[in-house]
Amino acid sequence: MSGIVQIEPINWAEFLREFAARNNNRRARFDVYRRGGAIEEEAREEHLEDIFLKTDGGVKSVEVIRIDRARGKAEKRRDVITHVRGIAVQYDTDGSEVVLEFTDNENSLINLRFESKVDGAS
């Protein structure tokens, strides 16, 4: 990985729109790092369809829509990250986006890890 860039909150909606367009159909999976050391890792990747910001009464959430194509059906999956207080992006050695990081109000780090364009791993 070559670097992490924090996204300013005022730019979140536009950044996520553009990120989703650039990374549409890339395989991705979630890793969640909770306070206290608990880690949750998805075993399977799904293809990114969309990511967008939602605001409700000052509470910011991010919705991630992915498609599971593993079973012959294109089933959509929606994951919502609530109380988002930070968004950052990690870049791979070739400059491509490889991880989208979210921090919530409980200090959990939620990573949406994409298949690397460099080595194919995620």
pLDDT at 73 (0 to 100): 74
| Per-residue model confidence as pLDDT tens for the chain (122 residues) | 568 999 999 999 999 999 999 999 999 999 999 988 889 998 889 999 999 999 999 899 999 999 987 777 778 999 999 999 999 999 998 889 999 999 999 999 999 999 877 765 54
pLDDT at 35: 85
Alpha carbons within 13 A on the beta-carbon side of 24: 8
Which pLDDT score, from 0 to 100, does residue 86 have?
98
Domain locations along the chain: 3-83
Q: What is the pLDDT of residue 120?
A: 59
d(CA 98, CA 90): 6
The per-residue pLDDT for 3 is: 87
